[in-house]
C-alpha cells in the first residue's frame, strides 16, 4: 500500500467512525475549564461545534458535532483523537503546524511525528477549495482552547 493510499484510508476510516463526535450527549469532565466554538464554511456548508475541556494544563477532552464532507468530518475526528492528553501549548503548536501544512499548497511535507494521523491531510493542501474543509475543526479547537485556557 502506498503512502497516498494509506492516507486516503485514514481519512475514509475517520469519516465513518468519528472519534469525539457526540458533543450533545457527552458532559465535560467535572472541574474542567471549557471553551466551545461553532464554525461554518458557507461556501460548502461544512459546520462544526467543538468543545475543549482543559484540566491541569492538559486537554482532557474534545467533543464535537458537525455536518459536512468526509474531509471535514475526518479532520475533526483525527484532531479529537490526537489532541487528548496534550498540553495547551503542545496543541497550539500542532494546530500551527497543521495550518502551515495546509497553506503550503503542497510545498511542505507533513511530519507524522508531529501530526500523527493528521499527516493524512497533506494532499488536501494542493486543493485550495478543500483547505477550509480540513481546517474548520482546527479553527474551532483553537478558538475553544483560547476560551478554556
| CA distance to 2, 21, 67, 102, per residue, from 131 (Å) | 23, 21, 16, 6
Fold of 3-148: Sufe protein. Chain: A (3.90.1010)
SS3 61: strand
Q: Whose CA is closest to 46, among 38, 37, 54?
A: 38
pLDDT at 16: 84
pTM: 0.93
CA distance between the termini of the chain:
41
Of all residues in the chain, the percent with pLDDT exceeding 90 is 79
pLDDT tens-digit series, residues 34-79: 999 999 999 889 999 999 999 999 999 999 999 999 999 999 999 9
CA distance linking residue 12 with residue 17, whole number of Å: 9
Q: Which of 21, 139, 11, 141 minimizes the C-alpha distance to 71?
A: 11
Residue with cell 474542567: 32
How many other β-carbons are positioned within 10 Å of the β-carbon of residue 36? 18
Q: How far apart are CA 81 and CA 137, in angstroms?
A: 13
**Is the pLDDT at 11 greater than 90, yes or no?**
no
pLDDT given at position 3: 56
Please determine, for residue 109, whether its predicted confidence score (pLDDT) is greater than 80: yes
Burial of 2 (0-12, 13-18, 19+ CB in 10 A): exposed
Dihedral sign (CA 13, 44, 137, 148): negative
pLDDT in the model for residue 83: 97
Given this model, what pLDDT does residue 141 score? 98
Amino acid at each position: 500500500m502506498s503512502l497516498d493510499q494509506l492516507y486516503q484510508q485514514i481519512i475514509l476510516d475517520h469519516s465513518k467512525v468519528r472519534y469525539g463526535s457526540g458533543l450533545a450527549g457527552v458532559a465535560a469532565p467535572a472541574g474542567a475549564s471549557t471553551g466551545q466554538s461553532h464554525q461554518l464554511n458557507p461556501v460548502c456548508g461544512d459546520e462544526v461545534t467543538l468543545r475543549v475541556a482543559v484540566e491541569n494544563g492538559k486537554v482532557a477532552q474534545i467533543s464535537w458535532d458537525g455536518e459536512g464532507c468526509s474531509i471535514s468530518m475526518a479532520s475533526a475526528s483525527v484532531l479529537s483523537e490526537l489532541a487528548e492528553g496534550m498540553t495547551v501549548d503542545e496543541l497550539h503548536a500542532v494546530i500551527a503546524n497543521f495550518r502551515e501544512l495546509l497553506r503550503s499548497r503542497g510545498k511542505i511535507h507533513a511530519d507524522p511525528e508531529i501530526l500523527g494521523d493528521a499527516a493524512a491531510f497533506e494532499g488536501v493542501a494542493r486543493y485550495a477549495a478543500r483547505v477550509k474543509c480540513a481546517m474548520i475543526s482546527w479553527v474551532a479547537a483553537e478558538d475553544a482552547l483560547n476560551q478554556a485556557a
